[in-house]
Amino acid sequence: MKVLKKTIIVICIIIAIPLIIALFIKKDYSVEREIIIEKPKQEVFDYIKYLKNQDNFSVWTKRDSNIKKTYQGIDAEVGFISKWDSELKDVGKGEQEIKKIRDGERIDYELRFIKPFEAIEPAYMITEEIDSVQTKVKWGFSGHFNYPMNIMFLFMDFEELIGNDLETGLKNLETILETK
What tens digit of pLDDT does each residue of 145-156 get?
Answer: 788 878 877 777
Res 115: pLDDT: 93
The DSSP H or E segment spanning 148 is: none
- Whether residue 116 is preceded by a cis peptide bond, meaning omega within 30 degrees of 0, is yes
- The mean pLDDT value of the chain amounts to 91
Pick the CATH number of 27-178 from 3.40.140.10, 3.30.530.20, 3.30.460.80, 3.40.50.300: 3.30.530.20
Percent of the chain whose pLDDT exceeds 90: 64
Q: According to the model, what pLDDT value does residue 167 have?
A: 96
Cα distances from 19 to residues 4, 27, 119, 145, in angstroms, run 23, 13, 21, 14
The whole-number average pLDDT for the span 159-177 is 93
For residues 116 and 89, is the Cβ–Cβ distance under 8 A?
Answer: yes
- Angstrom distance (rounded) from CA 160 to CA 167: 10
Q: Does the pLDDT value for residue 20 go beyond 80?
A: no
Phi and psi, residue 6, nearest 5° = -65, -40
**Alpha-carbon span 89 to 167, nearest angstrom:** 21
Q: Look at residue 107 and tell me whether its pLDDT is greater than 90.
A: yes
Arithmetic mean of pLDDT, 122-137: 97
Average pLDDT over residues 59-87: 94
CA neighbor of 139 nearest in space, from 174, 176, 113 = 174
Tens of pLDDT along 1-10?
A: 788 888 888 8
Task: List 101's β-bridge partners, or say none.
Answer: 107
- Average pLDDT rounded to a whole number, residues 93-108: 97
User: What average pLDDT score do residues 24-45 get?
Assistant: 93
Mean pLDDT throughout 120-127?
A: 96
DSSP structure class, residue 52? G
pLDDT band with cut points at 50, 70 and 90 for residue 118? confident
